[in-house]
Amino acid sequence: MRITRAEKSVLSDWWFTVDRLMFFGLLLLMGAGLVLSLAASPPIAAKYNLEPFYFVRRQAALLLPAVVIMFVASTLTPKQIRRASLIIFVVGIALMLATMFIGPEIKGARRWLQIGFVSIQPSEFVKPAFVVLTAWLFNESQKRSDVPGIELALALYGIFALLLVLQPDFGQTLLVSLVWMALFFMAGINLFWIGALGFAGIAGIASAYFLVPHVASRIDRFLNPASGDTYQADKALDSFLHGGWFGRGPGEGTVKDVLPDSHTDYIFAVAAEEYGLIACLILLAVFAFIVLRGLSKASQEPDGFIRHATAGLMMLFGLQTLINMAVNVGLLPAKGMTLPFISYGGSSLLAMALTMGFVLGLTRRRPIAGRLPRSAPSEAEGESGSHTGKAASEQVA
């Protein structure tokens, strides 16, 4: 089927206005995620007495819904994205509250909610909605002095961060805090607020270190490996050495047999061992291309809300990628954070598809409001045509 500009349809309009290079880059990441799931998940399935390709089949089954979510989100206008974000945020916060009471406890945390046969992590869907709403509030505070945008943005952050801490999920709390502070900085805050936020961040990290034993243990082991068990981190780092430049070959890796989260948190280490550093660098280049292209689009956007929202969503995507890869190579302590579109996880995949669908929707080419199409007056119009054009321009201005 050939799509032409003459067609008047949603698909035709989308095709000629969306950033197709970014879209295909995201599809490439989804395909890579399926391939790496095929490499990393069979040993995990065996540990749970499941059929070897259980996680692969689930990942493959979610790819089509993820593409549909990304496409539908990318067809929305900025106003519709803002409204959808408000609904998602309110419903997501309500579901996060529900996890505190009826959610199953897994590895000491209550982050998931069982709805029928489906298990979802509500906080994953709240993240993109939170970024969009925060960007809108900061932008409104810049345009209108009567709108308490900063205060409302601070309230949204407080509610979301508190629920993340109560789960507990300190990795996501750190990620959300970094994006929120970056948006705050983009909004043009003064030095006082920068200092206050810096102090609050240091106080939060210190509180987590002294009040939460497992956080202190992870930080201590990262700073001083001799102080505790660093088995997972050591094995992940060894996978890069064993894989070399070109890898040991598909299915020939051993790190997936010993790491309990090789199909999620440490899938980048599996890729390094089986496919080599070259493949990892290519994967990193695809992520970098998407992030830089998104930030470039944001920098060229005249609308403040679209500029801030796009930049915030790209920071959410890029920082999550950076944190996961940094953990795999031993540059950060373990965070329990997935690699976007690569790691196994239904909520992570669908929520990241929503995130990037919002980015594609915000960055679509649209006519600038108030700009009239330019056309040269005919000779017959003469001087009167010139005056008419001038008057029309003054009226639009």
Per-residue pLDDT reduced to its tens digit, 142-170:
887 777 888 899 899 999 999 998 888 88
d(CA 128, CA 135): 11
User: Residue 213's pLDDT is what?
Assistant: 66
pLDDT band at 349 (very low <50, low <70, confident <90, very high): very high
Q: What is the mean pLDDT of the chain?
A: 83
pLDDT greater at residue 174 or residue 129: 129
Percent of the chain, pLDDT > 70? 83
pLDDT greater at residue 240 or residue 290: 290
Q: Is the pLDDT of residue 231 over 90?
A: no
Residue 314: domain span: 10-366
How many domains are there within the chain? 1
Span 362-370, average pLDDT: 71
User: Residue 287's pLDDT is what?
Assistant: 97
pLDDT band at 397 (very low <50, low <70, confident <90, very high): very low
Is the separation of the CB atoms in 62 and 33 below 8 Å?
no
pLDDT band at 339 (very low <50, low <70, confident <90, very high): very high
Which one, of 62, 169, 70, 51, lies nearest residue 119 by Cα?
Answer: 62
Q: Is 49 helix (H, G, I), strand (E, B) or coil?
A: coil
Domain membership flag for residue 389: no
Domain membership flag for residue 164: yes
Within the chain, residue ranges assigned H as helices are 10-15, 20-40, 42-47, 54-74, 78-102, 122-143, 149-166, 170-186, 191-211, 213-223, 231-243, 255-258, 267-299, 304-328, 346-362, 382-396
Domain membership flag for residue 385: no
pLDDT in tens, 10-55: 788 888 889 999 999 999 999 999 999 988 888 888 888 888 888 8
Domain membership flag for residue 2: no
Span 348-375, average pLDDT: 78
At which residue do the structure tokens 């810049």 appear?
142
d(CA 330, CA 153): 34
Domain membership flag for residue 298: yes
Q: Is the pLDDT of residue 376 over 60?
A: no
Q: Which of 20-24, 205-209, 379-383 has the lowest mean pLDDT?
A: 379-383
d(CA 279, CA 274): 9
Q: Which of 144-158, 276-290, 366-380 has the lowest mean pLDDT?
A: 366-380
Q: Is the pLDDT of residue 230 over 90?
A: no
User: Residue 369's pLDDT is what?
Assistant: 44
User: Residue 118's pLDDT is what?
Assistant: 80
Domain membership flag for residue 394: no
d(CA 316, CA 325): 14
Radius of gyration of the chain (CA): 24
pLDDT greater at residue 190 or residue 334: 334
Q: Is the pLDDT of residue 267 over 50?
A: yes
User: Residue 15's pLDDT is what?
Assistant: 84
What secondary structure letter does DSSP report for 145?
Answer: T
**The token pair that represents 264 in the structure block:** 């999620």
pLDDT band at 373 (very low <50, low <70, confident <90, very high): very low
Span 344-364, average pLDDT: 94
Domain membership flag for residue 395: no
pLDDT greater at residue 358 or residue 378: 358
d(CA 258, CA 44): 9
Domain membership flag for residue 1: no
Q: What is the pTM of this model?
A: 0.85
